[in-house]
Amino acid sequence: MKRQLNLFLHALQFYSRIPTGKIDYSEENLTQSLRYFPLVGIIVGTVGAIAFMLSMLVFPKSVAVVAAIISMVAVTGALHEDGVSDFFDGFGGGYTKERILEIMKDSHVGAYGVIALIFLFLGKFSLLFSIEIDQLPVVLIAAHASSRFMAVLLVKFSRYARTEKSKSSHSRNPLSRTTFVTALILGILPLFLISWLIAICAVIIYLIIFSAVKRYVEKKIGGFTGDILGTLQQLCEITFYATYIGVITYI
């Protein structure tokens, strides 16, 4: 139990800005802490849901949606959004593996990254604003948990592209079966809070996105980086919102 708590605190410290105190750090622990990455997503989604519900007591829905988005970005330190920016800068401006990796590691934000973030946040706002008020909290939690499992899936079935040490180099280490199964369970559980049809459609679209991203990045740079994991999570998250709206609209 103590080890599992330590692994959870590793995940919370690395994938959020929530204070954890002192942990028994090791790179291996950080690798295996990916089992709790979807649980971090549940926490992030819950923070967004609380921010939304509290804001609805005073403000109109549009403001409450913005409050939810801001709270979720704040609690993760924009970790995954930063990945989206770096991904589009790197793959938009680089033509070789070396150049793509160099651009993604650069702290400066280019035009591709800025445009990608604008579209990302406009998409999140418009989609979340279209979801029923009473269902939005549940959708946030399910989307954040399940989308994070897709990043774990890429770690499991692809390879880390960088050879040098980096903040995400722990993901080059193999995941244990326990880590993968735990992440799968935690990623799937919140889907039982929504319609089974929406969940099935979301999973199918997730797998299409996963396959496309995996094939593309392996062809271009030979595998994934931390920025690619963040981008995959964000793509799956926003796709979940779109899938929910699409299914609700047409059934």
Within 8 A by CB and 6+ apart from 95, the residues are none
Phi-psi region of 27 (alpha: psi -120 to 50; beta: other; left: phi over 0): alpha
What global pTM score does this model have? 0.95
**Look-up: residue for tokens 């103590």?**
2
CA distance readout (Å), 190 to 1, 38, 143, 239: 23, 10, 8, 16
Count of C-beta atoms within a 10 Å radius of residue 201: 16
**What local confidence, expressed as pLDDT, does residue 97 receive?**
93
Say if CB 74 and CB 48 are below 8 A apart. Answer: no
The structure tokens listed for 99 are: 């150049």
Q: pLDDT 10s per residue in the chain (251 long)?
A: 888 999 999 999 999 999 988 888 888 889 999 999 999 999 999 999 999 999 999 999 999 999 999 999 999 999 999 999 999 999 998 889 999 999 998 888 899 999 999 999 999 999 999 999 999 999 999 999 999 999 999 999 999 988 777 777 787 888 999 999 999 999 999 999 999 999 999 999 999 999 999 999 999 999 999 999 999 999 999 999 999 999 998 87
Q: Where are the domains positioned within the chain?
A: 28-250
**What local confidence, expressed as pLDDT, does residue 172 receive?**
80
Residue type, 131: I
The structure tokens listed for 26 are: 């090791």
